[in-house]
Amino acid sequence: MPDTATPIDKRPLVLLTPAFIAITALVVIPMSFILVYSFYENVDLAVDRVAFQFGNWQALFSDNYYHSAIWKTLRISVVVTVLAAVLGYLPAYFIAMTTFRHKWLLLLLLILPFWVSFIIRTLSWIHILGNQGALNGLFLWLGLTDEPLQMMFSEFSVMVGLIHVFLPYMILNIYVSLEGIDRNLEPAARTLGATPWQAFREVTLPLSLPGLAAGSLLVFVLTGGSYVTPLILGGPSDFLFGNLIYDAVVTELNWPMGATLSFTLLVLLGSVVILYSRFMGLNQLSKAFG
Amino acid sequence: MSAWAFIRFYTILVYTFMFAPIAVVLLLAFNNSQFGGFPIDGLSLRWFAELFENEAIMRAFRTSFILGLMTAAVATTVGILAALALVRYQFRGKDWVTTFLISPVLVPETVLAVGLLIFLRWLHMPRSFTLLLLGHSIIALPFVVLVVQARLVGIRREYEEAARSLGASPVQTFFSVTFPLLLPAIFAGALFAFTISFDNITATIFWRPSGMETVPTQIFGMLRHSVSPEINALGFVMICITVGVPLLAGGLARYFSRRKV
Amino acid sequence: MTRKMDSTKRYEKLREAVGNGDVDRRTFFGLLGSAGITAGLSGGIMTAMAGQARAAGVELHFEGWGGVVSEALRKHAFDPYEAATGNTVIDATFGGENEVLTKIKAAGSTSGHNILHSSGVSWYKRWVDNGYHVVLNEDNIPNLKNVMTTMIEPFRAITPEGLSAVPYDYGTTGIAYNTKHVSKEKAMELGADLLLDKELKGKIGGWGGDWANRAWYGALQSGQDPNNIEDWDAVWEKAREHRELVLKYWGSGAELMDLLAKEEIWVTEAWSGRVAALQAQGHPIAYMDPPNGLAWMESMFVLKGSPLAEAEELLNFMLEPETAIAVAAGQKYPSSLDPTKVDMPEEVTNLPAFDPTGKLEALVFRDPQTWNPQEKKQGAMWNRVKKGG
């Protein structure tokens, strides 16, 4: 390939410049202000003292309260990501492969929920899963149960809410990678004697992996950073690390601690992205040779 | 064929799951009662009437709409350039570049919001519509990059090389070959950016200049006193517009083209 | 004043720290320039948006709770005020005063913030302690004479040199219960301990947003004077006991009403106005204020840097009986106007917590002198207890 032969190519740099400037100015620099804050000392509500001390970091490392929140957050994020992948792959495949003429409509339908405010959408799960909700109404009517099932305000309802909000990210990412696959590949594999399942497994699935990985990454990271869904749909024990940050920054007005917690989350989620990036980098490399 | 039938059935189930809460919102838009949800005591259009009289919501809607469009334009442009660089070129440290591009998603929005505010103070800039636009764009950027990137990986280089070998200039190649192939990704990216901006609340609360409300902040303000079904009516109207207008346009176009023949 | 100095100094230092660090100023301004280009692109629309807000005269930024209150204020106070003076009121909603304080702190100035619908004497003290208060000229607010003196006194005690806010409404946080499942006798007998009734496990709610509210009830349940808590461990022990029984800590009025109306919960502490709204819709929800139950008041707080004469005039408009009554009817919290001086219609006199004597002797308010110093420690404590810590 001609452009990879020359070792120093300025074109990618030029293409990346706008994004780099934007992220540097709007994320990196503001975050360095926050990092500075994590060494400050909170004297009273909203009153911070300029300092360079490790009290906040020490609290983070020594306090089991924070550790259990981190575990819980990772666990819920993994479960939500896996479930979203399981739920999302087939619909994405369907949209990509269907001969239905109004394919765009299926895609539009995916994005539509965003048009109803997130808070309203989340609250409306109470109408479905609640004691007087649609599902319980159906179960009672069918005689499956005598008493309404308690589904709301549990880890279950929090996960339902999270999956519901993030599933479109998964489906769209898988879809765009499936859509990019040459349509003739699967039939070609079939004519070479592969069963449909083999053709899918050997051809389509590997080619759709970048989308699946991107979608999973997004869902994982977004779940790890959310805090509103557990507030609305969860019971007292359902919270994520984001809730601790929100509590520290907004309700306790303790910015130094909030900054410390934020950095922790940043590092945790960042390492996941780096892992992904390593893995995907290899994947793309092998494809370039293939 | 039974596998395909299963996939279709599965898809319908997933769409049902996606639409269950929306269906609830749409139904309750017609519920006569001020509050309470199911069972619906009576049907009425009063919430639609109140919605159109509610200037605050309508104003918030206009703000959100304009903001969303501009966010889509900015984020998609920047995002596509970056995705092109990532997919089309080999260079050192690509892993780090990718991580860097995705980093805005990693920052909890509350923190991103507060950090940017402190930075603005340092620059002596007041909060403004521009801040909201830039902030929303940076939140949407990683999504655009990811969506576009996944799509670009699948576009075969050979098409472009074929065009080049047939004598097209790089610019011509881009607009006649690459761009059309990119269109679905651009569309998906822009739609994503728009909807992310339209639905953002956490950061918007901190960034908006005083006196400016977007739809989510307006709803947030109503939460203290119970949410009015006007909001459900707004959702209904929006969905009708987004689904209905393209359908109607397509239907009319077909109708008239058939008449001509 | 000293606090103000501290915060200015802090930002100076921060600025220096970054200025001397790896990032040099030139890079900064380069970035600023590119941001400017983007700003230029959106210039046209921006001007149009700003045009909505700009008008002749002075601009006053009002921030409140939104919803029915905004509508009532807009119709009965802001519009007439604008017509009478040529000034403009820009009204916005906030999610709480924490959010406003965060914004002001981050921005380093109160610019863009003038009048807040502030909750309680505690927040009054916090704004004053942070140096964000003003001294209002009460002669310019003749309607203040109609406000109950008992409501003005706590504010005056904090700033004897002059008020920075006018009291505007009041309410209580009592206990709401579903009469289909809980008898009135039982509720009356148990009082605050109704929230700890083990028979109701999984049917109990609580407000998750405010540590002081939880602590107040913890004090009642552990037999302490809420305004003079000595044993904080006992308070949090009661909060933990409550947590075991709780289905859901709610965070907004909308959520509270939803949970009660759908019978997800049968018992919870609740805001009087929200229960009144539910009762008006025919839900079988009763409301009681247990002995020593928590009362609170809200004020219209004027922030430092605001145009005072205009702000005073606006406050006077807001205290017009017609306006205050419309707001009270909308949000279902009684107005601060003295009912012995101003005739209140039935829709106001029927509100829960309404006191016809104008003295509020039956209500117990939070004493900011004993509560505010505890907030840093106990507020963090509550966030922990809430999560099972």
What would the pLDDT profile of C177-231 be if each residue is shown by its tens digit? 999 999 999 999 999 999 999 999 999 999 998 899 999 999 999 999 999 999 9
Percent over 90 (pLDDT), chain B: 21
Residue B34 touches partner C, C-beta closer than 8 Å: yes
pLDDT tens string B47-68: 888 888 888 888 999 999 999 9
Report chain A residues whose CB lies below 8 A from the CB of B153: 177, 180, 210, 284, 287
Range of C313's domain? Answer: 56-170+296-360
Name residue, tokens 């996941």. Answer: A272
The answer to the question of residue A225 being in a domain is yes
pLDDT band at B72 (very low <50, low <70, confident <90, very high): very high
Of the candidates A19, A250, A258, the beta carbon closest to that of B141 is on A19
Cβ separation of C376 and A237 shorter than 8 Å? Answer: no
pLDDT single digits (tens) A168-187: 989 988 988 888 787 788 88
C45 and B121 within 8 Å at the Cβ level: the answer is: no
In the chain, the amino acid numbered B132 is: L
pLDDT confidence of residue B111: 81
Is C126's CB within 8 Å of A250's CB?
A: no
To the nearest whole Å, the CA of A177 is away from the closest chain B CA by 5
* Whether residue C62 is found in the same domain as residue C115: yes
The answer to whether residue A124 neighbours chain B at the CB level (below 8 Å) is yes
pLDDT at C374: 92
Average pLDDT over residues A251-265: 89
pLDDT of amino acid C24:
42
Q: Which subunits count as partners of chain B given 3+ CB pairs below 8 Å?
A: A, C
Cβ contacts of B111 on chain A, cutoff 8 Å = 31, 34, 245, 249, 258-259, 262
Count of CB contacts below 8 A, A vs B? Answer: 295
Residue-wise pLDDT for A40-97, tens only, equals 998 887 778 888 999 999 999 999 999 999 999 999 999 999 999 999 999 999 998 8
**Residues B37, C45: C-beta atoms closer than 8 Å:** no
**Is there a contact between A48 and C246 if contact means CB atoms under 8 Å apart?**
no
Could you tell me if C160 and C179 lie in one domain? Answer: no
A282 to chain B nearest CA, in Å?
10
C180 & C240 share domain: yes
Domains of chain B: total: 1
Selected residue with higher pLDDT from C36 and A20: A20
A230 lies in some domain: yes
Residue B8 CA, distance from chain mean position = 26
Average pLDDT over residues B228-246: 79
Full DSSP string of A11-45: HHHHHHHHHHHHHIIIIIHHHHHHHHHTTSEEEET
Q: Chain A residue with minimal CA distance to C11?
A: A50
Within 8 A by CB and 6+ apart from C212, the residues are C122, C366, C371, C375, C378, C379
**A240-A246-A251-A255 Cα dihedral, nearest 10 degrees:** 130
Asked if B146 and A173 come within 8 Å (Cβ–Cβ), the reply is yes
Spatial distance between the Cα atoms of C300 and C130, rounded to a whole number of angstroms: 17
Residue C119: strand, helix, or coil: strand
Q: Has residue B255 been placed in a domain?
A: no
In chain A, which residue ranges form alpha helices assigned H by DSSP? 2-5, 11-23, 29-37, 55-62, 64-97, 103-111, 118-123, 125-129, 134-142, 155-179, 185-191, 196-199, 205-225, 228-233, 241-246, 255-289
Q: How far is A62 from chain B (nearest CA, A)?
A: 23
pLDDT at A281: 54
Q: Is B192 part of a structural domain of the chain?
A: yes
Render pLDDT for B16-25 as a digit per residue (tens, 0 to 9): 999 999 888 8
Per-residue pLDDT at C156 exceeds 60: yes
Residue A154 counted as domain residue: yes
Read off the pLDDT band of B221 (50, 70, 90). confident
- Check pLDDT > 70 for residue C36: no
pLDDT tens figures, B74-126: 999 999 999 988 888 888 888 788 888 988 988 878 788 888 888 887 888 88
The answer to whether C173 and C269 have CB atoms below 8 angstroms apart is yes
Q: What are phi and psi of C248, to 5 degrees?
A: -155, 130
Contact A212, A267 (CB under 8 A): no
CB contact under 8 A, A25 and C34: yes
- CA-nearest residue to C379 within chain A is A252
**Helices and strands of chain C, counted as H and E runs:** 18, 10
| B43 phi and psi angles, rounded to 5 deg | -95, 145
- Looking at the partner chain, which of B129, B210, B223 has a beta carbon nearest the beta carbon of C254? B223
Q: Determine, yes or no, domain membership for B251.
A: no
- End-to-end, the C-alpha distance of chain B in Å comes to 37
In a domain, residue B206? The reply is: yes
- Tell me, what CATH number does A127's domain have? 1.10.3720.10
Q: How confident is the model at residue A6, as a pLDDT?
A: 45
Interface test with A, best of B146, B228, B230 (most A CBs within 10 A): B146
Distances (CA, A) of C346 to B240, C75, C167, C173, C255: 42, 21, 22, 22, 28
Tokens of B105: 């998603």
**pLDDT reported for residue C16:** 44
Report whether the peptide linkage leading into residue A7 is cis, meaning its omega lies within 30 degrees of zero.
no
Mean pLDDT of chain C: 85
- For residue C35, pLDDT over 50 is answered with no
In three-state secondary structure terms, C89 is strand
* Confidence at residue A26, expressed as pLDDT on a 0 to 100 scale: 93
pLDDT at B46: 85
Pair C163, C302 in one domain: yes
Q: Which run of H or E residues covers position B161? A: helix B157-165
- What is the C-alpha R_g of chain A? 23
Sign, CA torsion A71/A75/A80/A86: positive
B222 touches chain C (CB under 8 A): yes
Instruction: Report the number of distinct structural domains present in chain C.
Output: 2
pLDDT for residue B260 = 54
Residue B181 lies in a domain: yes
Q: Range of B127's domain?
A: 59-217
| C2-9, Cβ contacts within 8 angstroms, sequence gap of 24 or more | C3/A47, C3/C129, C3/C130, C3/C131, C4/C130, C4/C131, C6/A47, C6/A49, C7/A47, C7/C105, C7/C108, C8/C108, C9/A50
Whether pLDDT at C335 is above 90: yes
Average pLDDT over residues C245-250: 94
Joined together, the tokens standing for residue B221 give 């303000």
- Residue-number span of the structural domain to which A275 is assigned: 59-289
Contact C270, C287 (CB under 8 A): yes
Q: Is A118 on the interface with B (CB under 8 A)?
A: yes
Residue A1 lies in a domain: no
List the chains bordering chain C where 3 or more Cβ pairs fall under 8 Å.
A, B
Same domain, C202 and C119: no
A·C CB contacts under 8 A? 103
Using 50, 70 and 90 to split pLDDT, how confident is the model at C44? Answer: very low
A114 closest CB neighbour out of B24, B102, B198:
B198
3-class state of residue C248 by DSSP:
strand
For residue C232, give the CATH number of its domain: 3.40.190.10
Name the residue among A106, C38, C293 with its Cα closest to residue B11: A106
Q: Is A115 part of any domain?
A: yes
CB proximity list for B259: less than 8 A, separation 6 or greater: none
Which residue in A has a C-alpha nearest to residue C265's C-alpha? A131
Q: What CATH code is carried by the domain that includes residue B205?
A: 1.10.3720.10
By C-alpha distance, the chain B residue nearest C258 is B36
Partner chains of A (3+ C-beta pairs under 8 Å): B, C
Test the A interface: residue of C38, C98, C241 with most A CBs within 10 Å: C98
Token pair in block for residue C196 = 């700890």
Number of residues written out for chain B = 261
Q: Chain B: residue nearest A21 by CA?
A: B78
pLDDT of C51 = 44
Q: What is the pLDDT of residues C306-333, one digit of tens each?
A: 999 999 999 999 999 999 999 999 889 9
Residue A23: inside a domain, yes or no?
A: no
Higher pLDDT, A280 or C261: C261
Judged by CB atoms closer than 8 Å, whether chains meet at B222 and C66 is answered as: yes
The mean pLDDT value for B222-233 works out to 80
Please check whether residue C242 is in contact with residue C208, taking contact to mean a CB–CB distance below 8 angstroms.
no
The per-residue pLDDT for A280 is: 67
Q: What pLDDT does A282 receive?
A: 46
Contact C309, C81 (CB under 8 A): no
Q: What is the mean predicted confidence (pLDDT) over A253-274?
A: 88
Q: How far is CA C26 from the centre of its chain?
A: 44
Residue C15 has pLDDT above 60, yes or no: no
Under the banding of pLDDT at 50, 70 and 90, the label for residue B259 is low
Together in a domain, C70 and C132:
yes
Instruction: Identify the pLDDT of residue B34.
Output: 64
Q: Do C262 and A126 touch (CB under 8 A)?
A: yes
Nearest-CA distance from C339 to chain B in Å? 25
Give the distance, in angstroms, between the CA of residue B253 and the centroid of all CA atoms in the same chain.
Answer: 26
Nearest CA in chain A to C386: A236
Instruction: Please indicate whether, in this complex, the C-beta atoms of B225 and C65 are within 8 angstroms of each other.
Output: yes
Please check whether residues C303 and C235 belong to one and the same domain: no
Q: Considering the domain boundaries, does residue A52 fall inside one?
A: no
Indicate which of B70, B225, B228, B232 best probes the interface with C, i.e. most C CBs within 10 Å of its own CB. B225
Quick one: pLDDT at residue C269?
A: 94
- C263 phi and psi angles, rounded to 5 deg: 60, 30
Clarify whether residues C345 and C376 are in a common domain. no
Give the angle C8-C11-C17 at the CA atoms, nearest 5°. Answer: 145
Confidence at residue A284, expressed as pLDDT on a 0 to 100 scale: 44
Nearest-CA residue of chain B relative to A35? B115
| pLDDT, position C362 | 87
Is residue C33 included in any domain, yes or no?
A: no
- pLDDT per position as a tens digit, B152-190: 776 767 787 888 888 888 888 878 887 888 887 788 788
Co-location of C260 and C356 in the same domain: no
- A225 lies within 8 A of chain B by CB: yes
Closest to A24 in 3D by CA, of B108, B193, C11, C32 = C32
List the one residue out of C362, C334, C204, C335 whose CA is nearest residue C276.
C334
Three-class secondary structure of residue C207 per DSSP: strand
Is A206 within a domain?
yes
**Interchain CB distance below 8 Å, C102 and A21:** no
Token digits of residue A50:
């300029």
Evaluate whether ipTM surpasses 0.90.
no
- Three-state DSSP class for residue C209: coil
Domain tally for chain A? Answer: 1
- From chain B, the residues in CB contact with C278 under 8 A are 35
For C261, the closest of B36, B212, B218 (CB atoms) is B36
Q: Do B188 and A112 touch (CB under 8 A)?
A: no
CA dihedral (A219, A223, A228, A234) positive or negative: positive
